[in-house]
Amino acid sequence: MKTYAKFGILTVLIVGSLVWLAMGGITETQTYYKTIPELQKMGTSAHGKRIRVGGDVASIAKNGAEVSFILHQGAQQLKVVYDGNDPLPDTFKPGAQALADGRLGADGVFAASKIQAKCASKYEVKPPQRLSHESPNGAKVTKALEPDSSNLRSPRI
């Protein structure tokens, strides 16, 4: 066999191996946000697959390093067990929205390796503040506070 043919075959094998490894890594790390009804519709095909599922936290029970909680969406519930190394977020409490990243077991319990708590209120605009006081005649006066533009400076160029 000629040297060019050997080099070509070796190059194709190396490039093919790299593409195969990259595709395997992409499909393993690719997780989409699933709702609890979507997860339950998947049935047994969801067992063992890496999935991210979201819902509202109903109750939390801590047992040593293991934390078990219930995610719910409407009437549908999912038991989740988390025994990861990362601490739980401060906003992770009953009533909060959360995402659990892990695998669904054959027993229907979701084994989470990562937990994220969603906190939509952090990103909402605060309502305007109102100043409330009593006038000298006893009537209650409420006034909306507006930003003071007198201390704003124009940028220097």
**Domains (range + CATH), the chain:** 32-122 (2.40.50.140)
Within the chain, residue ranges assigned H as helices are: 3-29, 36-42
Tell me which residue has tokens 């191996």: 17
Taking the alpha carbons at both ends of the chain, their separation in whole angstroms is 71
Tens-digit pLDDT string for the chain (157 aa)? 688 888 899 999 999 999 888 887 766 665 567 888 988 888 888 888 888 899 999 989 988 888 999 999 888 999 999 988 888 888 888 888 899 999 999 898 999 999 988 765 554 555 666 555 565 666 665 555 555 544 444 455 5
Q: How far is CA 156 from CA 92, 116, 153, in A?
A: 45, 43, 9
Side-chain half-sphere CA neighbours of 90 within 13 A: 1
Confidence (pTM): 0.57
For residue 27, the model assigns a pLDDT of: 61
